[in-house]
Amino acid sequence: MLPSLRLKKNEERRIKQGHVWVFSNEVDIQATPLKDFSAGQQVIVEAHNGKPLGMGFVNPNTLICARILSRSPKLELNKKFLKKRIQAAQGLREALFDKPYYRLVFGDSDGLPGLVVDRFGDVFAVQITTAGMELVKEDIVQVLDNLFHPAAIVMKNDTASRGLEGLPLYEEVVLGELPETLIIEENNTQFSIPVEGGQKTGWFYDHRMSRGRLQTMVKGKRVLDVFSYLGGWGVAAANAGAESVTCVDSSEFALDGVDINAELNGVTDKMSTIQGNAFDVLNALRTDGQKFDVVIVDPPAFIKRKKDFKQGAEAYRRINEIAMRVLDKEGILVTASCSHHMTRNNLLNAVQSAARHIDRTVQLFEQGHQGPDHPIHPAVPETEYIKTLFFRVSASW
C-alpha cells in the first residue's frame, strides 16, 4: 500500500473536476507533513475525509507538490503502467501519422507528467522534468526498448526546468548508438536532426501543421524565416517553390543545420542565412531597403513566467513591428508564440498595435495550433501553448 497524502478540507474539488496537479498549500500538513515524503515518492492522494482521489507522485520541494497519474488508487507507476500509457500514446500517433516522426509522449496530456518522448524513426529522445519520472527512468528505457527496439535512446535532460525539481542537468545516450546522420520527413521535406547538441529534443514537431499550411502560400515568393533554428519553416517553404528564402538565427550551430537541410532537399541555390540578433538583423535589412513577400516570426518563448508578461508582450509587439517593416505590399506575416502566458488574443493585439503604430492594416486570415502529437489536456491549460497567426499586411486603408 502506498502512503497517503491528505488534502485540506474542500481542496479536492479541482482534482475531482479533472485537474491533475496538487499545490503545496492544498495539503493538510498536520495530517501528512510534506517533509515526510521524498522527491518522487508515490502516494495515494486523498480528500480531507480520507476518501482516495487517485494515485500520484510527490515532490515536497516544488510548488506543484503532487501530480495525479491515475484515478485508481490501486495502480502504481511501474513498467506495466508505463507500457500501457506509452502504448495508448502510440495509438493516437499511429492513427494520425503514416511515418514514425512525431512526439510520442506529451507529458500530462498523455497521462505521463514530466515525460516527453520525441520519435525520430528508430531514435528516441527522452526528456524528464519531474522527480517521479526520474525515479523510473530505467523502466522507461526498458519499455521503449521492448515496444520499439530502437537503434538509440538519448536522455535530453538538459532543460533548465529540471532545476526546480532538484534534478541534475545532463545529456546521455542510454541505449544503442546514435547514427551519424538522422533524417526525418515533415511536409514532404527532409530534415537532418542534431539530437546531440540540438535545442530541446533536437526538433520542434509542434509547428508541423502550420509549416504545411505555409507551403501553400509561398510559390514564387521571397521568404524571410526569423528565429529559424534548422529551417523548419524556411526549408519547407523553399521546397514548396519559394523563389528565395533567408533564414535568420543567432546560433551558428542552427544555421549550419539550415545549410545541411537545404542541401538535403536540393534547394541550396535559393537559400541564404544571416547570423545575428533578430531585432538587429531585421533593422539592418530595413535600412538596406530589402523587402520580402512572406515573413515568419517564430521566436523562443519571450514570456517564461507570468511576471515577465509585460516585458515579453512588448518584445512580441516590437519584433512583429519590424517584421512588418520589411514586408512588401500585400505581404504575409506568419507570427507564432510558444509562451503559454501570451494568449492568442494577446498576440493578436500585439500585432494590431504594431500595425497601427506604423500605419498598416492587417487581416487575420488563418490560425494555427500545436500539431496533434501535442494534444491538450482540457483541465491543464498549460498544455496548450502554441498559437500561430497568418496575416495579410497592407498599407493603411
| 254 lines the binding site for ligand SAH (CB under 6 A) | yes
Residue 187 C-beta: closest distance to ligand SAH, Å: 12
Using CB under 6 A as the binding criterion, the count of chain residues that bind ligand SAH stands at 16
Asked if 247 is an active-site residue, the reply is no
H-only helix segments in the chain: 13-16, 79-96, 131-135, 137-148, 208-215, 234-239, 252-264, 278-287, 309-325, 344-357
| 373 lines the binding site for ligand SAH (CB under 6 A) | no
- For residue 254, what is the DSSP state? H
d(CA 41, CA 133): 10
120, 124, 233, 316: which one binds ligand SAH (CB under 6 A):
233
Beta bridge partners of 120: 101, 123
Which range touches ligand SAH (CB under 6 A), out of 18-26, 244-252, 264-272, 347-355? 244-252
What x-and-dash track marks residues 281-300 binding ligand SAH by CB under 6 A? -----------------x-x
d(CA 298, CA 151): 32
> Judged by CB, which is closer to ligand SAH: 55, or 214?
214
Q: β-pairing, 387-395 with 360-369?
A: antiparallel
Catalytic residue among 258, 324, 338, 386: 338
- Helices then strands, counting H and E runs in the chain, come out as 10, 19
d(CA 57, CA 78): 12
Which range touches ligand SAH (CB under 6 A), out of 11-19, 122-130, 157-165, 245-253? 245-253
Q: Is the dihedral of CA 230, 234, 238, 244 positive or negative?
A: negative
| 227 lines the binding site for ligand SAH (CB under 6 A) | yes
Residue 96 C-beta: closest distance to ligand SAH, Å: 20
Residue 194 C-beta: closest distance to ligand SAH, Å: 11
d(CA 307, CA 310): 8
| 6 lines the binding site for ligand SAH (CB under 6 A) | no
> Judged by CB, which is closer to ligand SAH: 152, or 230?
230
Among 75, 64, 147, residue whose Cα is nearest residue 105: 147
Q: β-pairing, 222-226 with 292-297?
A: parallel
How far lies 193's CA from each of 174, 214, 292, in Å? 18, 21, 28
**Chain residue whose CB lies nearest ligand SAH:** 232
| 278 lines the binding site for ligand SAH (CB under 6 A) | yes
> Judged by CB, which is closer to ligand SAH: 31, or 209?
209
Grid cell at residue 298: 517564430
Asked if residue 119 lies in contact with residue 136, where contact means CB atoms within 8 angstroms, the answer is no
> Judged by CB, which is closer to ligand SAH: 32, or 228?
228
Residue 14 C-beta: closest distance to ligand SAH, Å: 33
What x-and-dash track marks residues 146-185 binding ligand SAH by CB under 6 A? ----------------------------------------
What x-and-dash track marks residues 184-223 binding ligand SAH by CB under 6 A? ---------------x----x--x----------------
| 228 lines the binding site for ligand SAH (CB under 6 A) | yes
Q: Is the dihedral of CA 199, 204, 210, 214 positive or negative?
A: positive
Asked if residue 211 lies in contact with residue 126, where contact means CB atoms within 8 angstroms, the answer is no
Residues designated as active site: 338
Binding site for ligand SAH (CB under 6 A): 199, 204, 207, 227-229, 232-233, 249-251, 254, 277-278, 298, 300
